[in-house]
């Protein structure tokens, strides 16, 4: 439980540029350590994207619950929120004052690139699982699902839950 | 606005917004600027910018600054609790109702499809970010570089963040040097 507290304080501290960044960080800190399996984690991201609320909170709560029940969910969620909550609470006037400064603007630009890079990393990891069979060959069934989901997602990109749901149904039908 | 109203308002944002923090920005703006007229549009624009720059989740940061604007530091706490609580309840219920859900073979099949859906969703986020980044070609290369080193060499993410802060500082420093002759 203490491990969970420290992991999520760390994840909360590093989550910059929006909650979605929590996904690659949790992947590195929780999944790579073997605390949660990758397929469990994928299921959690799917649920987090298709339920209401901030995605970061949804994932944090799910991971905590999975490891230590309702108390674990409480610990992971609160310790995930606390670092950035306190930083902003204490430094809002400083941020207001300096946010037009060139340094802050440059950091922000580079952080956007970091966010893009980290989400690409998370996506690459999922692609290994999603598109390759156990013999490291390309799985044609997953390509069929991808071929169906791409046009659907162009229409329904504002409804992530629908994309996840359709993906799940296609998985049931094809596999 | 009472503490109770503040809590309920943010609880509603948490309960009814699909698609994460970015989707909450227009809803909060509409509620506090247009409907309730508690915050003027310039202040709200400022808050949206601050919420994106500050570390942490956008939705939580928005709740933090709006709560503070309306009811001080205690307001911050109440608004953040309000916006996070629905997620906590919903996810805990799902996690409690479906223990060992992945032991069911049918669910495992569905996950094979869900993973493709999640790849598509994450790719949409990446594409949107790259659209913003393409005005700075070096940042596009930097982003791909980050993906590669973390994927292949498991470089800790804290190192990546430090590299961004250092690079940003160096670039701002060089730009400020260049500006001096023109001043």
Q: How far is A161 from chain B (nearest CA, A)?
A: 8
The residue of chain B nearest to residue A58, with distances taken between CA atoms, is: B87
User: What is the three-class DSSP state of A16?
Assistant: strand
Give yes or no: residues B126 and B160 share one domain.
yes
* Interface contacts (A, B; CB < 8 Å): 349
Query: What parts of chain A have a pLDDT lower than 50?
Result: none
Give yes or no: residues B52 and B108 share one domain.
no
Question: Tell me, what's the pLDDT at B170?
Answer: 93
Question: Tell me, what's the pLDDT at B181?
Answer: 58
- Residue range B14-38: average pLDDT? 88
Is 90 exceeded by the pLDDT of residue B70?
A: yes
Give yes or no: residues B70 and B121 share one domain.
no
Q: What percent of chain B is predicted at pLDDT more than 90?
A: 63
Task: Output the DSSP codes for B96-125.
Answer: HHSTTGGGSHHHHHHHHHHHHHHHHHHHHH
Q: How far is B34 from chain A (nearest CA, A)?
A: 22
Give yes or no: residues B90 and B113 share one domain.
no
ipTM, two decimals: 0.87
Last residue of a domain, one of B67, B97, B127: B97
User: Which residues have CB under 8 Å from B181's CB, separation 6+?
Assistant: none
CB contact under 8 A, B143 and A104: no
Q: What are phi and psi of A100, to 5 degrees?
A: -85, -5
pLDDT band of B24, cuts 50, 70, 90: confident
Q: What are phi and psi of B136, to 5 degrees?
A: -120, 90
Last residue of a domain, one of B82, B97, B112: B97
Give yes or no: residues B157 and B131 share one domain.
yes
pLDDT band of B183, cuts 50, 70, 90: very low
Give yes or no: residues B13 and B91 share one domain.
yes
Helix, strand, coil percentages, rounded to 5, for chain A: 85, 0, 15
Q: How far is B66 from chain A (nearest CA, A)?
A: 11
Give yes or no: residues B10 and B86 share one domain.
yes
CB contact under 8 A, B146 and A121: yes
Is 90 exceeded by the pLDDT of residue B84?
A: yes
Last residue of a domain, one of B97, B126, B142: B97
Give yes or no: residues B90 and B132 share one domain.
no
HSE of A106, CA atoms in CB hemisphere, 13 A: 18
Give yes or no: residues B77 and B25 share one domain.
yes
Give yes or no: residues B74 and B135 share one domain.
no
Q: How many domains does chain B have?
A: 2
CB contact under 8 A, B18 and A161: yes
Give yes or no: residues B65 and B135 share one domain.
no
Q: Rg for chain A (alpha carbons), in Å?
A: 18
- Chain A, 109-168: which have a CB under 8 Å from a chain B CB? 109-127, 129-130, 141-142, 145-146, 149-150, 153, 157-161, 163-164, 166-168
Output the average pLDDT for chain B. 90
Question: Which domain, by its residues, includes B17?
Answer: 3-97
CB contact under 8 A, B73 and A130: no
Question: Tell me, what's the pLDDT at A26?
Answer: 92
What number of other Cβ atoms are within 10 A of residue B141's Cβ? 12
Which of B18, B125, B175 is opposite residue A119, by nearest beta carbon? Answer: B125
The residue of chain B nearest to residue A114, with distances taken between CA atoms, is: B143
CB contact under 8 A, B87 and A52: yes
Asked if A52 has any chain B CB less than 8 Å from its own CB, the reply is yes
Instruction: Give the tokens for residue B129.
Output: 């970010």
Give yes or no: residues B88 and B106 share one domain.
no
């Amino acid at each position: 439980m203490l491990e969970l507290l420290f992991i999520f304080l760390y994840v909360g501290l590093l989550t910059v540029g929006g909650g979605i960044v929590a996904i690659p960080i949790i992947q590195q800190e929780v999944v790579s350590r073997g605390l949660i399996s990758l397929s469990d984690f994928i299921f959690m991201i799917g649920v987090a994207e298709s339920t209401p609320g901030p995605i970061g909170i949804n994932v944090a709560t799910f991971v905590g619950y999975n490891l230590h029940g309702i108390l674990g969910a409480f610990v992971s969620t609160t310790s995930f929120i606390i670092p950035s909550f306190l930083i902003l609470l204490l430094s809002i006037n400083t941020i207001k004052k300096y946010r037009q400064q060139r340094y802050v603007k440059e950091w922000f630009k580079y952080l956007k690139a970091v966010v893009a890079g980290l989400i690409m990393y998370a996506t690459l990891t999922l692609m290994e699982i999603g598109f390759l069979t156990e013999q490291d060959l390309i799985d044609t069934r997953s390509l069929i699902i991808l071929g169906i989901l791409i046009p659907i997602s162009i229409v329904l990109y504002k409804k992530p839950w629908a994309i996840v749901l359709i993906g799940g149904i296609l998985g049931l039908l094809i596999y | 606005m009472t503490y109770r109203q503040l809590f309920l308002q943010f609880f509603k944002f948490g309960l009814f917004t699909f698609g994460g923090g970015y989707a909450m920005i227009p809803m909060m703006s509409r509620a506090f600027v247009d409907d309730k007229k508690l915050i003027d549009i310039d202040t709200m624009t400022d808050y949206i910018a601050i919420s994106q720059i500050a570390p942490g989740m956008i939705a939580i940061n928005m709740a933090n600054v709006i709560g503070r604007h309306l009811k001080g530091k205690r307001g911050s706490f109440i608004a953040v609790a309000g916006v996070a609580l629905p997620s906590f309840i919903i996810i805990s219920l799902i996690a409690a109702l479906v223990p060992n859900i992945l032991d069911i073979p049918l669910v495992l099949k569905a996950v094979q499809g869900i993973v493709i859906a999640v790849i598509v969703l994450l790719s949409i986020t990446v594409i949107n970010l790259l659209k913003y980044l393409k005005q700075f070609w070096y940042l596009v290369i930097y982003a791909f570089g980050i993906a590669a080193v973390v994927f292949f060499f498991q470089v800790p993410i804290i190192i990546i963040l430090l590299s961004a802060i250092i690079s940003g500082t160096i670039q701002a420093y060089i730009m400020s040097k260049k500006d001096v002759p023109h001043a």
